[in-house]
Structure 1
Amino acid sequence: MFITANFDSGNIEVINAESEDAIELQIRRDNQSDFYQWFHFKLYGEIGTEHVMHITNASTSAYPDGWKDYSAVASYDRETWFRVPCEYDGKTFTIRHTLEQESVYFAYFAPYSYERHQDLIHWAQQSSLVEHVLLGQTLDGRDMNLLVIGEPDDSKQKIWVTARQHPGESMAEWFVEGMLGRLLDDADGAARKLLQNNVFYVVPNMNPDGSVRGHLRTNAVGTNLNREWAAPSLEKSPEVYYVLNAMQETGVDLYLDIHGDENLPYNFVAGCEGVPCYDERHERLATQFKETLLAITPEFQVEQGYEVDAKGEANLTVASNAVAERFDCLSFTLEMPFKDNANLPDEDFGWSANRSAQLGADVLSAVYAVANNLRD
Structure 2
Amino acid sequence: MTIHINAAFDSGNIRVLTVEGDRADLEIVTDHLSDFYQWFHFRVAGAKGRTLTLRILNAGGSAYPDGWPGYKARVSADRAAWRLADTNYAEGVLTITHAFDSDVAWFAYFAPYSMERHHDLVSRIALQPGVTHRELGATLDGQPIDLLSMGTGAKQVWIYARQHPGESMAEWWAEGALEYLTSGNVTATALREKATFHVVPNMNPDGSRRGHLRTNAA
TM-score bracket, normalised by the shorter chain, equals over 0.9
Residue 128 of structure 1 deviates from its aligned partner by: 1.7
Paired residues for 1:176-195 under 5 Å: 176-186=174-184, 188-195=185-192
Question: May I ask how many residue pairs the two structures share in their alignment?
Answer: 216
Do structure 1's residue 13 and structure 2's residue 15 form an aligned pair?
yes
Paired residues for 1:45-60 under 5 Å: 45-60=46-61
* Distance in 2 separating the partners of 1:197 and 1:185: 15
Q: Which residue in the other structure is 1:67 paired with?
A: 68
Do structure 1's residue 2 and structure 2's residue 4 form an aligned pair?
yes
Q: Report Cα offsets for 1:212-238 as digits up to 9, x if no partner.
A: 0000011111xxxxxxxxxxxxxxxxx
Which SS does the other structure have where 1:17 is aligned? strand
Residue 46 of structure 1 deviates from its aligned partner by: 2.9
Q: Which residue in the other structure is 2:100 paired with?
A: 99
Do structure 1's residue 211 and structure 2's residue 208 form an aligned pair?
yes
8 A contact 2:151–2:191 mirrored in 1:
no
Residue 90 of structure 1 deviates from its aligned partner by: 2.4
8 A contact 1:45–1:99 mirrored in 2:
no
Q: Which residue in the other structure is 1:139 paired with?
A: 140
Q: Report Cα offsets for 1:156-195 as digits up to 9, x if no partner.
A: 1101001010000000000011111111111x00000111
* Distance in 2 separating the partners of 1:198 and 1:46: 52
TM-score (structure 1 length as normaliser): 0.57
Residue 85 of structure 1 deviates from its aligned partner by: 0.7
* Distance in 2 separating the partners of 1:33 and 1:217: 9
* Distance in 2 separating the partners of 1:13 and 1:97: 19
8 A contact 1:164–1:204 mirrored in 2:
yes
* Structure number with higher strand proportion: 2
* Distance in 2 separating the partners of 1:168 and 1:50: 28
* Distance in 2 separating the partners of 1:141 and 1:37: 25
Q: Report Cα offsets for 1:226-285 as digits up to 9, x if no partner.
A: xxxxxxxxxxxxxxxxxxxxxxxxxxxxxxxxxxxxxxxxxxxxxxxxxxxxxxxxxxxx
Identify unmatched segments of 5+ residues in structure 1.
222-376
Residue 112 of structure 1 deviates from its aligned partner by: 0.2
Residue 23 of structure 1 deviates from its aligned partner by: 0.7
Amino acid at match of 1:214: G
Which SS does the other structure have where 2:30 is aligned? coil
Residue 17 of structure 1 deviates from its aligned partner by: 1.2
Paired residues for 1:162-201 under 5 Å: 162-186=160-184, 188-201=185-198
Residue 45 of structure 1 deviates from its aligned partner by: 2.2
* Distance in 1 separating the partners of 2:121 and 2:130: 15
After TM superposition, where is structure 1 displaced by more than 3 Å over at least 4 residues in a row? none
Paired residues for 1:113-128 under 5 Å: 113-128=114-129
Residue 197 of structure 1 deviates from its aligned partner by: 2.0
RMSD (Å) for aligned C-alpha atoms: 0.9
* Distance in 1 separating the partners of 2:198 and 2:47: 48
| Higher RCO (CA 8 Å, separation ≥ 6 residues) | 2
* Structure number with higher helix proportion: 1
* Distance in 2 separating the partners of 1:194 and 1:52: 49
TM-score (structure 2 length as normaliser): 0.97
Larger Rg belongs to: 1
* Distance in 2 separating the partners of 1:68 and 1:46: 27
Which SS does the other structure have where 2:20 is aligned? coil
Q: Which residue in the other structure is 1:129 paired with?
A: 130
Amino acid at match of 1:25: L
Identify unmatched segments of 5+ residues in structure 2.
none
* Distance in 2 separating the partners of 1:137 and 1:24: 37
Residue 129 of structure 1 deviates from its aligned partner by: 1.3
Residue 71 of structure 1 deviates from its aligned partner by: 0.7
Amino acid at match of 2:58: N
Q: Structure 1 vs Structure 2: percent identity of aligned residues?
A: 49
Do structure 1's residue 81 and structure 2's residue 82 form an aligned pair?
yes
Q: Report Cα offsets for 1:187-208 as digits up to 9, x if no partner.
A: x000001111210000000000
* Distance in 2 separating the partners of 1:150 and 1:133: 15
